[in-house]
Each structure stands twice: as structure tokens, then as C-alpha cells.
Structure 1
């Protein structure tokens, strides 16, 4: 019997990007979510365009609906954010962006801020880019400590990053930074592309596994459950076996869902109702 509960399912606003933020928040209430993961990007919540007062106003809208933000995820997988950038100006700008994002997470009362490793040039020594990411994470971990915030560190796919893209490289980076404020997380798409599963991650991370993006894929893509080929029952069984108690965020980044995001949520809940 599954030990995963409906309350662990967490909504995310990425596929609601063509609707106002308030529409997304109302949908989360309508579909009986208690928690959300807020994707920080225009037009909903882009930190570089917002004052603290504007951030507080968004928090009021969230509170008004009795929702909680479990993780703040600023957009970071596209230009110009890269914690491993060889160009000092780009890397410093990226670090400052995450510092402002950490401050925004505190305004939102979010206990976690999601960070990704960035990427190094394919024709340079990997160890050089690895060092730049490690140095960036060390700086951000100190900021997180000051703010009493956990950095949820997410591996990317090998196409997106040549640094951290599986459980072993994630564990290696966590060990080198060695901060209690930097923890590991899973996205099921990079996990599947690396031919891994939840047992592979948990055997290395144990209590340092703090967050999961739980989506279907082919195996690439961030799809509604049932639209891909990933083994839903196996994944739920594994999460039950390891006793995972954290959030399972429905992060749908495929553009096929942006016109009718509610339908994506409805089909998700229907698919998951048979296993949760």
C-alpha cells in the first residue's frame, strides 16, 4: 500500500504562464492543493523586476488562499544565469540573482530555494567549471545560512549541464561544498535519462534528499502522468519504501499544456488517484 499522500502533491505555475498568477492560485485552491512551488519568472514573479513591497503583495495573495510555498524556483536554465560561467561578470551576476532570490524566498516564507549547477564549456577541462560551481554554491550556502534557508540542489540533464546530471555527481558536489544548508533533490527526467531511480539517489543521499519534481517523460520532457513512459507504480512503490515525506511537484514545462493548464492538472490527479 502506498505511503505517499495526496497532500504531498504540489502545484507549480510554469504551465500557467499564459494566465495571470491569481488564476493559477485560484486553480490550486479549486483542485485542493495545500502547497505550491513558485516558479520565479515573468510575468508572475521575476525577482529582478520586483520591489520587496510587490513581493509582499504576492505573499498576501497566497496567504489569502491558505496556500504555502514549499520551494521558490527562480528561472535559471536559460540565458543569462550560469553559476559555472567562465566569464566572471556573468557568474557574479548569476550569484547576485540567487542572493536576491534567496531574499525573495524569505518574503514568501518558503523553506527552500532551488538552485542548479550551471554548465561549463564543452571544450574546457570539466574540473575548472566544476570548481566555479562549487565556489558559487559555497557563497550561496553562506547566504542561506544567514537566512535559515535550504538550497535544494537539482541535477540537470546531460544536455543542460556537463557538471551535475546524476546521483553520483550530485553527491560529489554536496560532499565538496559540505554545508548543512545545501541539500539534494531529484527531477524524474534527468533521473530517467541517467538510467537511475529513487533507490539510486536515496542510497547516496539518505536524509539529504529534500525535494522532488515528479513528472512523466519519454523519458525527456516534463509531461503529465500518462503522456510519457516512466514507471509510475514503480516510482510510488520506491518512494513508499524509502519513506519519502517531502513534496512531489508537478513541474510541467512542455508548451503543450499552456493553453489549457487546468486540464493538465485534472488528468494528473486522475492518473495519480489510482496509485496514491
Structure 2
């Protein structure tokens, strides 16, 4: 039975956003974290602000440090990105944003592009917004196939989305789009809020579970292990049991870590090393 190793842990630049991108990259080298998930937002890597030349220069800096981008995650949970938008102009703009992000992921050498479902109006028929997301994902899956990318599709919390927020709705969308380039992923926060765990997802998705954001919460928040209440050691045991082979990204979005992001990484890696190697 395969077991989780430290080589599967990936750092992320979200909580380094008050420092230059180079600082984050150097920190990953210092902590011997060879795999990174790149959050695509200003000031580090916002695709709408970058030329192809600038993207390639950033890739050179990543390569120079012998780092690998395992997933590109363009910012998409704030205005104005919404794959389910009722307003056609906004939805088309969102699709184009992801197409540009997919092209950037290819330049970065990232095998995965993270995508979220968006949301529909709470006072409209849910199936209408569902159809809009499905149509958007079908278009993006075609682009992903052309670029040889996998779309890692992430359920959100019910507050963030009324469309895909648990394992069953994730499985349903994957089945309806029915593309080999669209796979499922998990963030431990929406998973916990839906009263689920990795066994629920594994039973439904099997090998279509390709990526994980592994963080603590109360149960909300994206916190360092120990700052929340989630049963993370139990989760590691479940991942060992199901033979998970993908990456675990440390996605810390709480502002409590932005002043001293290194301290958050150090605490995380210490605990992970003790648990995984123990």
C-alpha cells in the first residue's frame, strides 16, 4: 500500500502575497519543498497583466531553483470570475480568463489547472446555473485537451457556491461533462463543512481524485495544522489507505500568516514530517 511522503507536499504562494514572488520561491528552496502550486494573482502572477515574455521569465526563475509547478490556480473566487454567471458577457469573460490561464499553465509546465464551479443566483432555478457551469466546463475541457492539461475541479463551500459543494455534486458534474481532462480535487475545508472525509470522495471518484488542498480549519478558514480543529492525522491515515498518489498543497489564505509566512511553513512542515515519517 502506497503511503503519503513529504515529496507529495506542495507549497503555495497565497500567504506570501505581501512579499515578492522571488521571496516565496527562495523560501521553497530553503525548506526543500520542490513542488509548488502557483496562485495566480497580483502582485505575483496575474495572467491579465503578464505578457508571454514575462511569463517565460518567471518560468526561468522557477527552473533556476529546480522547482516544479504541479498546479496553476488563477484567482477565481472573487469578482468578476464566475463560470455560472447568468450574464452572458461575464460568463464569456470568465471562460476567456480560464483559457488564458490554461495557456499560462502550459508555459509554466504545470500539468493541472484548478477550476471552481462559480455560482448561480439563489432565487433562480438551480438547474439553469448548473447548465451554465457544465457548458463552461465542456468548453474548457476541450481547451485542456488541446494543451494536454488536466482541469482539477474543486468543490467550494455552500456559502461560496450553490452548485458544487460536496462529493455527490462533484461526481455528478464530472459525469455530465464526461471529459478525460476534467478530474476532481478536494479542499479539506468544504469537505469538512459537508460532513465528509476522504473515504467519501475516494468511494465516488476513485482515480479521478487528482489533487488536494490540505489545511486545517475551525472548520472554516485555511489554517496551519494545529490552528484549527480538523482531524488531519485521520485524513493522512485515510489517504494512506486509499493509496493517494497526488499532491497535498498547503493553501493558507488567512491573513494571520501574511506578515510571517515562513513561520507558517516551518510549523506546517515540522508537523507533517513528524506525522508522515512517523
TM range (shorter): over 0.9
Q: 1:65: which partner in 2?
A: 65
Q: Which residue does the alignment assign to 2:205? A: 205
Residue number in structure 2 paired with 1:33 = 33
Q: Which residue number in structure 1 is paired with residue 121 of structure 2? A: 121
2 CA distance for matches of 1:36 and 1:274? Answer: 21
Paired residue secondary structure (2:25): helix
Question: Does the 8 Å contact 1:2/1:237 carry over to 2?
Answer: no
1:160-188 CA-partner distances (Å, limit 9, x unpaired): 00000000000000000000000000000
> Counterpart in 2 of 1:149?
149
Q: How does 1:156-175 map to 2 (within 5 A)?
A: 156-175=156-175
- 1:9 is aligned to 9
- The TM-score with structure 1 as length reference comes to 0.99
Q: CA deviation at 1:2?
A: 8.4
**Secondary structure of 2:118's aligned partner:** coil
Aligned residues: 276
- Structure 2 gaps of 5+ residues are none
Correspondence list, 1:1-276, <5 A: 3-276=3-276
Q: Give the whole-Å Cα distance in 2 for the aligned partners of 1:39 and 1:57.
A: 17
Mapped contact 2:2–2:243 kept (Cα < 8 A): no
Mapped partners of 1:232, 1:48: distance in 2: 36
- Please say if residues 116 and 156 of structure 1, whose CA atoms lie closer than 8 Å, have aligned partners that are also in contact: yes
CA RMSD of aligned residues (A): 0.9
Cα displacement string for residues 99-133 of structure 1 (whole angstroms, at most 9, x for unaligned residues): 00000000000000000000000000000000000
Give me the whole-angstrom Cα distance separating, in 2, the residues matched to 1:118 and 1:232: 27
Structure 1 residue 271: deviation in Å?
1.6
What is the deviation of 1:232? Answer: 1.6
The Cα offsets for residues 241-265 of structure 1, whole Å up to 9 and x where unpaired, read as 0000110000000000000000000
* Cα distance in structure 2, aligned partners of 1:25 and 1:220: 28
SS of the equivalent of 1:159 reads coil
Q: Structure 1 stretches of 5 or more lacking a match?
A: none
Query: Aligned partners of 1:2, 1:99: CA distance in 2, in Å?
Result: 35
CA–CA distance in structure 2, aligned partners of residues 49 and 195 of structure 1: 39
Runs of 4+ off more than 3 Å? none
